[in-house]
Structure 1
Amino acid sequence: MKIRLIIFGVFILSTLVTNFNWLPNGAFLGKEIALIGALSLLALVSLFYKEFCIKIKSIDIVLGVFFIYIFFTILLKPNYFDTTKFFVISLFFLLYYYLGGGFFKDNKQVKDLIIIFLTAFLFESLVGLMQYFGNLSVPLSERFFYVKGHFSNPAPFACFLSFGFTLGSGLLLFYPIGKLNKYILFLLSFLFVAVIILSKSRTAVLCCLFVLLYSLYCKYQHKLKKKFVFLFFSGIGIISSLFLINLNTDSILGRFFIWKISLKIIKDNFLTGIGFGNFQPVYMEHQSEYFALVSHNSKEALLADTINFAFNEFIQLFVETGVIGFLLVIILITIILYNLYKIKNRETVLLSALLLNFLLMSQFSYPLNELPLLIILCTLLFLTRNYFSTIYSKNSHYGLKLTVLSLAIIIGMFWSRNTIKAYSSWSLSKSEAFGGNLNTSIRHFKIANKSLGNNGFFLFNYGASISEEGKCKIGKPILLKASKFYNEHYIWELLGDCQKTENFEEAEFYYKKAINMLPKKFVPNYKLFLLYKLHGKTKNAVYMANKILKKQIKIPSSEIEYIRLECSNFLSEL
């Protein structure tokens, strides 16, 4: 038992801190390899325990139906993401769901799990503090961006810590604990919320606030009139939300614009969506089409950016899986929350508070795209599973357990080996390209392409490296393929650069595509201006020069000043 508990602790911490920073996208890759490695070790240790009982609970049926639907949408629709990676990571989350649900059954084991997670939250918060105070030379207004722990940016880091605050405050409110433990939990909760505030994540602050109000409501609803308690807490929540929103209205307006474009995609793909995992390229295509028809001097044009997520998991789910997938998830959430409400003890109230935390952050962030937050969700699901009735139970043969777990370990190890090898080749190709050794770089790119041919970032880097060296005939098809997996303005800029001397019409189309994708960018507009100059299209060049000079500047830079000066000089010389 203790060995498995230690491995669970290693699993949680390793998926936070592992970072292959010598490889492209090493932060994400490191966490994925750590997930597979730690769970493979856990599966290996579990083989020495003879108990093996297959239990199917009512929640498993709904979860199963949802994942079967996702599986078929991936098979039946064009998909523009790494499906192999998706299935391997999903297999290991299923393994975690099964092994965790089988191990953490009684209160003592759940208590050990709480200690593991509190340790992880404490570790990350201390890292965040060191990042804040270790960057004292950075202006105070910008220092928050460095407070991100082992995450890619402050938002998911703060959302991770919000679970620590919810857990700590929930234990303080609902559990009879000793005086020393109360002090420890109070200090931990205070530390978590302090670091969240330093990170300036409004989503995480809102989560902490609303979940605390929910916990207080559950705690004191029997002592006060329910109507009074509800109105009081609702008033505090609404006022605080308006205050936090007012701190950065551009950020909120930017999200509203993302949701506006997303709703247009939903309208066109209502029933089954655009296909699981296809949000980024499809969204950017629709954003480009939208700005082809509206003014480039609007507030929306200034706020539009390269978007990877919808900043609302429910909207993104609807976009990708349609109304069928959306309703399946709503049914799943309703069943879970209703079941917890029906039982209503301190354990279920704490679980519902943690689930509410996840649901709230899903409204404004992207927790399903961060591995540590996915681990928390999976943990909550297998703990919640204990409160559902068993509809099928059977003691199974040890040989079946041996076969299933061994197969999972082999798949994980094989995928990890091939992926690390491919990323190493990618890293070498980038180094060789930077050193001017194009032929050697292409050779390494081709090796990596065998495993990373569906990775948009890799294809983008591959095509860009070749195109920038003048090998446009080789780079063009790679860049066009990359745009299907990871669609951004720079790809279309490069394609325009490739065609500017050979094919005016194509170059013009590509530059316009880049402009419509991100209207606020000056460089694509400038390149189109230069294209018109190059081909003697003076009238068009004048139009572009005037457009550039009238363009709003979001962030001033020397590059923008140079572009504006070039346009002014051109117009004055006419």
Structure 2
Amino acid sequence: MKREHSIAGMSILLALLPTGSVVYMGGLCYPTHSSSIVCMGLVILFIGFYAACFVRTDRFRFALPDLFAGIVAVVAAACYLKYPGLLSLGSLCLPVLYAGIRRVGKIYPFFLLCGTAITLVLLSLYGYLQYFRLLPSHSSYFPVTGPYHNPAVYAGVMVILLSVLVPYLVIVAFRRRQGKGVVRGIIAAVLLAVPVLLLTEARAAWVALGVSVAYTFFYAYRYTCASFFRKYRRAILCAAPVILLSGGLVCYQLKPHSADGRLLIWKVSLRMIKEKPLTGFGINGFPANYMFYQARYLAAEGTAYERYLAGDTHLAFNEPVRIMVEYGLGGILFYLLFVGWLLTFPAKWNVVSHTARTVLLTMLVWGLFAYPFRVFSVMVFSTVALACLANQCKPLRVFHCSFSRAFAAFLFLGSALLGCLGASTMQAYYRLQALARQPAADVRELDTLRPLMKGEPAYGYICCLLPDRQKQDRLLKERLDAYIHMLPSPVAFVWKGDVHWRLKEYEEAEAAYKKASEMVPALQTARGRLVFLYHDLGREEEALRLAEELLTEKVKVYGFDTHALRLKLKKTFEGKLNNCFTKKSNAYEKK
């Protein structure tokens, strides 16, 4: 196949990638999370086969980004071997995507721009339909989430797409190098997306978009900006801190509890880093350990406000912090080395190199307040950007050999292997859901799915759900221990306490309820269980003290569970509670 045709074919396949992030597929575990992995992973496999079979290159030379990509590929393989699941399998597809783009060596940006603009329009329309309640939201707390479970993820994907289109408008369109129809279409897509982005109230995405736009203007018009700065240097130096401080205060006041909650997570994470600064906690170390450290911190040093803020989370909301917690000093040095290279390396000045750098910069800025490495769509866009940037870099002189055939073999065999693993994983997912719908299903059949789904939280949950339905408490206790080891949470500890209570292991039940309460003090469920446990054991004084505490304290969200708990407490301890506490509780419920 001629080189021009192979480049055009690869560019068309890459243009299909963004649309995979819009698809919503029912019938999957966590469909808002899994749909994009399945759809985009399928396109990536087509890209791998296409690059291996239909692209001809005489010579390939390594560049510095290939070393970064190679290290990330090794980490992705290690993650899949330790915790196999759909997200880790999708991460294994990223090296195939990167290698396919590198093998072609060049893409036509027009196709990517069209695919990005179409995807942005579809996402924007999705948000408008949810806002006007013509489509259901995927969260009970937020009206606008797009095809995702959270507006933060929705806004993050939209910001990445905008970071592709804005550089094009600034660099190409403003210099009149493209047809008016294309420019108007892209401008319309951008203007359509901005109101939806504001509706998400995702401050981290706003900051990332602001940085990417500022970077684009500065780099495109750096000489004009430099002369403007020299002319108005004093005014700029005086106004910049005021503008930044005002913007920060506005973002903080928009959701102060959310911002303070992130500060609490980072404060606890620093204590984790202090304990293992060199080696870290390993793969999946943050979600497997954070809640225990939060419980320890809140019990020893936490203020009343921090105990109120603390929630059930397994995300660091800061990628450098998470990397330092899990991979220690080596991980954070690798991250900083990549950031330094991205900001300083020399590359050809064209729209592809600048757009790719802007996409990566947007992802890094968003990662200071969010979790881009848990959003597969963002990982795919970043991989495409890194590969396009590597195609613009000078090759390393230490490698003089041709790796064309080796690359083709890697792409073909890798795509075939991932295709087989993907088909087996999807079958395992559907089998898992079929078992979850059968109350009398054989629990041991779940063990056959373990090699493909050990790292999937849904698998761990259903492994506990079936024994619970069948009243196999001894087996349920073992499965809960394994589930807590992978993903500890107060809900799991409450569940564990219930099992111990049914088995009449009262000390273990009390310890489990207390651990759940220490993790998230504002969660009343665990202390409610303690009240009734103490009541059954005859420890009436402790039960009354906890009941009065639950009836009078302020809760984050007064829902049906809280209302039912308070009614049960009043009925159980009728006539034993102080009248003042009962009046305070009634007055709070009427608000």
d(CA) in 2 for partners of 1:153, 1:405: 34
- Provide the residue aligned with 1:53 in structure 2: 59
* Residue deviations 1:183-237 (CA, integer Å, cap 9, x gap): 3333222222221012221222222223323333342414413435853556434
Question: Structure 1 residues 269, 557: CA separation in 2 closer, same or farther (over 3 Å shift)?
Answer: same
Between 46-55 and 522-531, the greater mean CA deviation after superposition: 46-55
d(CA) in 2 for partners of 1:39, 1:363: 28
d(CA) in 2 for partners of 1:555, 1:189: 36
Question: Structure 1 residues 151, 215: CA separation in 2 closer, same or farther (over 3 Å shift)?
Answer: same
**Given the alignment, which residue of 255, 267, 270 partners 1:248?**
255
- Provide the residue aligned with 2:228 in structure 1: 224
- Provide the residue aligned with 1:383 in structure 2: 388
**Given the alignment, which residue of 10, 13, 16 partners 2:16?**
10
**Given the alignment, which residue of 136, 142, 159 partners 1:145?**
142
d(CA) in 1 for partners of 2:41, 2:215: 36
- Provide the residue aligned with 1:129 in structure 2: 128
Shift of 1:397: 6.1
Q: Does 1:373 align with 2:367?
A: no
For 1:201, the aligned partner's letter is A
Aligned-pair RMSD on alpha carbons?
2.9
- Provide the residue aligned with 2:554 in structure 1: 552
d(CA) in 1 for partners of 2:278, 2:77: 16
- Provide the residue aligned with 2:575 in structure 1: 572
Between 32-41 and 344-353, the greater mean CA deviation after superposition: 344-353
Q: Does 1:154 align with 2:158?
A: no
Q: Does 1:308 align with 2:314?
A: yes
For 1:225, the aligned partner's letter is F
d(CA) in 2 for partners of 1:31, 1:447: 26
- Provide the residue aligned with 2:268 in structure 1: 261
Shift of 1:395: 3.1
Question: Structure 1 residues 313, 523: CA separation in 2 closer, same or farther (over 3 Å shift)?
Answer: same
For 1:173, the aligned partner's letter is V
For 1:261, the aligned partner's letter is V
Shift of 1:125: 1.6
For 1:534, the aligned partner's letter is D
- Provide the residue aligned with 2:424 in structure 1: 418
Contact 2:142–2:151 (8 Å) recurs in 1:
yes
The aligned runs of 1:87-486 (5 Å cut-off) are: 88-103=89-104, 105=106, 109-135=108-134, 145-175=142-172, 176-177=175-176, 178-218=179-219, 219=221, 220-226=224-230, 227=233, 231=237, 232=239, 235-293=242-300, 298-340=304-346, 348-391=353-396, 392-396=399-403, 398=405, 400-433=406-439, 438=440, 440=441, 442=443, 444-486=445-487
d(CA) in 1 for partners of 2:455, 2:560: 37
d(CA) in 2 for partners of 1:261, 1:96: 36
Question: Structure 1 residues 196, 322: CA separation in 2 closer, same or farther (over 3 Å shift)?
Answer: same
* Residue deviations 1:5-46 (CA, integer Å, cap 9, x gap): 3322233322x1344421322333333232332222222223
Shift of 1:311: 0.7
For 1:209, the aligned partner's letter is G
d(CA) in 1 for partners of 2:324, 2:31: 30
Question: Structure 1 residues 276, 378: CA separation in 2 closer, same or farther (over 3 Å shift)?
Answer: same
* Residue deviations 1:268-301 (CA, integer Å, cap 9, x gap): 1101211122211211121122233356x81212
Contact 1:169–1:212 (8 Å) recurs in 2:
yes
d(CA) in 2 for partners of 1:145, 1:541: 36
Contact 2:90–2:376 (8 Å) recurs in 1:
no
For 1:374, the aligned partner's letter is M
Shift of 1:431: 0.9
d(CA) in 1 for partners of 2:105, 2:195: 31
d(CA) in 1 for partners of 2:415, 2:77: 21
Q: Does 1:22 align with 2:27?
A: yes
Question: Structure 1 residues 454, 352: CA separation in 2 closer, same or farther (over 3 Å shift)?
Answer: closer
Contact 2:37–2:86 (8 Å) recurs in 1:
no
d(CA) in 2 for partners of 1:396, 1:352: 26
d(CA) in 2 for partners of 1:188, 1:370: 23
For 2:150, the aligned partner's letter is N
* Residue deviations 1:407-435 (CA, integer Å, cap 9, x gap): 212211221122112111211121112xx
Question: Structure 1 residues 265, 397: CA separation in 2 closer, same or farther (over 3 Å shift)?
Answer: closer
Structure 1 residue runs of 5 or longer lacking an equivalent are none
Q: SS at 2:61's partner residue?
A: strand
Contact 1:209–1:237 (8 Å) recurs in 2:
no
**Given the alignment, which residue of 531, 534, 539 partners 1:532?**
534
Contact 2:352–2:389 (8 Å) recurs in 1:
no
Structure 2 residue runs of 5 or longer lacking an equivalent are 578-591
**Given the alignment, which residue of 513, 519, 522 partners 2:521?**
519
For 1:50, the aligned partner's letter is R
Between 403-412 and 222-231, the greater mean CA deviation after superposition: 222-231
d(CA) in 2 for partners of 1:551, 1:424: 44
Report how many aligned residue pairs link the two structures: 555
For 1:573, the aligned partner's letter is K
For 1:466, the aligned partner's letter is P
For 1:200, the aligned partner's letter is E
d(CA) in 2 for partners of 1:442, 1:353: 49
The aligned runs of 1:483-498 (5 Å cut-off) are: 483-498=484-499
Shift of 1:447: 3.9
